Structure 1
Amino acid sequence: MSESLMLSAQDDLFVHQIPEPVRHVGTSDRNFYDRHYFNVHACCNDFFVIMGMGQYPNLGTQDAFVSLRQGKRQTTLRSSRALGDRGDMACGPIRIEVLEGLKRIRIAIAPNESGIEADLVFDGTHRPQLEPRQVQRRNGRVIHDVMRYCQTSKYGGWIKAGGTTWSADDVPLRGYRDRSWGVRAIGRPEPNDTAISGNATLSGLFGTADWRRLHMACQFEDWTVNIKLHEDPGGVRSLEDAVRMWNDGRPPEPLGRPAFEILRFSPDRRFIEEARFTFIRPDEPTRTLEVRQLLPLYLEAGTGYGNRPLLEWMHGQFRGESVTDVVVFDVDALDPVLAGPIDCLATMTMDGQTGHGLFEYTLFGRTDGFEGPGHFNARPAPPR
């Protein structure tokens, strides 16, 4: 690839932040990224789909994935290509088009060997919520510096998988997206030296091997609840945000400090089947949100997330000018790839209403005497 400056379609827009074409970002850090994440469901356990597309300007790559949980199978379609024009949000059969900024986005999945196809229009139900900036350093170097906004949706269009087509004309297609960019560990860990040792590992990112990460976005009829929580075993939080976003345009409502309680694990301890959030505000009654599992899937199952050595496909890796493949997992199988963060479709109740949405959790290290949700655990559950 040429080392000269490169123009892209974005250069015709008033979006420049530095005196360089948009293709070139304001840092030379290899870990700079720019990403879309979406999910879609039909408010029941028929299926759950997560999708993502990322650009890595300093690695010269772009990749995308679609991962579907249906029954006991999780199927992941993934593509990677060399990055050229940053305005081209297509990768293999997966394409994203911004129809109306901060509101309407088209997601198209062309016919491919996975059997997953779609022509969906994400239509935001509320204005995007900008979340607190996340900044972390190790030995003086910034290893995590991320901005993110989130939004829930009523989808138009259709999605097809396993020979079944779900159309928004027939069933409620709902979902969530987040849009994030900045610096965070990408792909394989970097060389191990004093300055950056462990920057792509859990202990390097968060200073401890014991840590919990909870991201939740639940859509009710007139509002959405969004929760982000990063916490170490001592209760110290590097990120805490809990808000209600109203569909009618009124300002977001802070819900108060969220407390989290696991009520029931699956028998093999891999999944959180029931949980509760309690929101605490001074001089106000506590408010609770009950969570019940509908359909969990593994975030790292072939999607590119994660950096464990056994994962063959990771974000930002150059695989050729254009590569697409499909991997299929039996969620009940003893497969070492099936570990780590869980993106769970859940039903949730709050203030007398029932909603549906994402319950994403990662509990690293010691969790009540076992390895943690997401893993196959040898130890039996302790008595309750």
Structure 2
Amino acid sequence: MITNFDDYCIHQTAAPIAQPSQSDRNFYDRYWFNGMDAEGTYIFEVGFGLYPNRHVMDGHFSVSTGGRQYAFHGSRRAPHERADTQVGPLAVTVIEPMRQIRVRLAPNEHNIACDLLFTAASIPHEEPPNIMYDDGHLIMHNSRFTQMGYWEGHFEIDGQRFEVSRAFGTRDKSWGVRPVGEPQGGAPGLLSGDPGVYWCWNPINFGDFCTQMGTFEDREGRPTQVSADLLPLYVDPADIPRGEDPGLIEMTQVEHTIVWEKGTRRAASAQVHMVDANGTEYDIALEPLLRFQMLGVGYNHAEWGHAFWKGELETAREEWDLGAMDPLEYQNLHVHQVVRATMGERVGMGTLENIVIGRHARSGFKDFFDGAE
């Protein structure tokens, strides 16, 4: 299975590049992006994944604006060539690694299109690996980096064109193993005893620096993984350091509090408190402005979930009235919100990601799908 990338000195195993180092069918390689304007009138997101052992590549482009959310979905048989990152009319192209990436959704029968260029403003910052076992079986083990930047270009929905000029952007790139696609057969795992997940993630652009925070918690609200850092932002991507940034400030203490919107599991407001090694404190208040449902880019989607086999090439369009969606339906629990952030006199823009499934004592959630009281 020799492909073009085998001509580069990038091999990590004795196998060709197109052959993963492991046979786990849930091995994946994935892009995610979002972009938003300063007024919080729109947010667009992109998801694009390769699942070589499932022979699937899929991609999504979704926009939330004016109380509605629109989504393009596409899926194909995975190509062997790693440079082939296109699903039907949707393509993700690395113009310059870690500096510029183009996302283009060519005009198509679903009347959703875009041509957008992401330009980095920070280093690609590596986050702690996610590791999870189910009764001794490794079901999640991945690496991920997050990078801040800006967008230029446009997107179109049903003939209405939205110009994008220096829109705030965040992206991540992750790879490894995580639960995706159709579930495997055989005996069920043992996580069903007290199932659930709590994840909160919050990258914020403050202009000349950004903050990045993420945490998993157990059912009682105790962090099982938490990290937060402050990183410089750069006007000229040529000035971004290669490797780690000497200006990075690692936090040694991280806490967050969410006030939940009544009857939901999404934030009405939030606070983040961080302390660095020198004892300097950082307090950030978050004000949600706009909601984005993550099923628009495939998360928890019953039909267009990540890595589902759809055939040689299939595409589709969806559209939702955000006000009419049941906030406690399983596929709607995973939410991104555009937030305005205040830290002292500094004001920034960014993303607040929440997914809470199952019991979470610190939030007051007692059952699997109950909302805030």
The partner residue of 1:89 within 79, 85, 90 is: 85
Residues 372 and 51 of structure 1: CA distance in aligned 2, closer, same or farther (over 3 Å): farther
Are 2:338 and 1:345 equivalent residues in the alignment? yes
Structure 2 residue aligned with 1:318: 309
The partner residue of 2:125 within 106, 119, 129 is: 129
Matched to 1:39, the amino acid is N
Q: 1:290: how far off? A: 0.8
- Aligned residues of 1:348 and 1:354 also touching (Cα < 8 A): yes
Are 2:132 and 1:139 equivalent residues in the alignment? no
> CA deviation digits over 1:244-277, x for unaligned, max 9?
11025543111332211123x3344343121001
- Aligned residues of 1:331 and 1:338 also touching (Cα < 8 A): no
The partner residue of 2:189 within 185, 192, 197 is: 197
> CA deviation digits over 1:16-38, x for unaligned, max 9?
11122211100000110000000
Structure 1 residue aligned with 2:238: none
Structure 1 residue aligned with 2:166: 172
- Aligned residues of 2:152 and 2:166 also touching (Cα < 8 A): no
Q: d(CA) in 2 for partners of 1:136 and 1:334?
A: 31
Structure 1 residue aligned with 2:237: none
- Aligned residues of 2:250 and 2:277 also touching (Cα < 8 A): no
- Aligned residues of 2:249 and 2:276 also touching (Cα < 8 A): no
| Equivalent residues, number | 358
The partner residue of 1:236 within 211, 218, 222 is: 222
Q: 1:14: how far off? A: 2.0
Structure 1 residue aligned with 2:202: 216
- Aligned residues of 2:300 and 2:331 also touching (Cα < 8 A): no
Matched to 1:321, the amino acid is E
Q: 1:136: how far off? A: 2.1
The partner residue of 2:349 within 333, 348, 356 is: 356
Q: d(CA) in 2 for partners of 1:18 and 1:40?
A: 36
Q: 1:370: how far off? A: 4.4
Secondary structure, in 3 states, of the residue corresponding to 1:173? strand
Q: d(CA) in 1 for partners of 2:196 and 2:322?
A: 25
Q: 1:53: how far off? A: 0.5
TM-score by length of 1: 0.86
Q: 1:71: how far off? A: 1.6
**Unpaired segments ≥5 residues, structure 1:** 1-5
> CA deviation digits over 1:314-362, x for unaligned, max 9?
2112211111111111112245465221011111112421111111111
Q: 1:68: how far off? A: 1.1
Are 2:359 and 1:366 equivalent residues in the alignment? yes
Matched to 2:228, the amino acid is A
The alignment yields a C-alpha RMSD, in angstroms, of 2.3
- Aligned residues of 1:113 and 1:326 also touching (Cα < 8 A): no
Are 2:221 and 1:254 equivalent residues in the alignment? no
Q: d(CA) in 1 for partners of 2:114 and 2:330?
A: 27
Matched to 1:344, the amino acid is Q
Structure 1 residue aligned with 2:298: 304
- Aligned residues of 1:300 and 1:337 also touching (Cα < 8 A): no
Matched to 1:215, the amino acid is W
Are 2:324 and 1:328 equivalent residues in the alignment? no
Per residue, is there more strand in 1 or in 2?
2
Identical amino acids, percent of aligned pairs: 27
Q: d(CA) in 2 for partners of 1:359 and 1:183?
A: 24
Secondary structure, in 3 states, of the residue corresponding to 1:25? coil
Matched to 1:180, the amino acid is S
Q: d(CA) in 2 for partners of 1:282 and 1:49?
A: 36
Secondary structure, in 3 states, of the residue corresponding to 2:128? coil
Q: d(CA) in 2 for partners of 1:283 and 1:123?
A: 32
Structure 2 residue aligned with 1:12: 7
Residues 258 and 163 of structure 1: CA distance in aligned 2, closer, same or farther (over 3 Å): farther
Q: d(CA) in 2 for partners of 1:306 and 1:8?
A: 33
Residues 97 and 165 of structure 1: CA distance in aligned 2, closer, same or farther (over 3 Å): same
TM-score by length of 2: 0.88
Structure 2 residue aligned with 1:225: 211
- Aligned residues of 1:119 and 1:159 also touching (Cα < 8 A): yes
Q: 1:60: how far off? A: 0.6
The partner residue of 1:112 within 108, 127, 132 is: 108
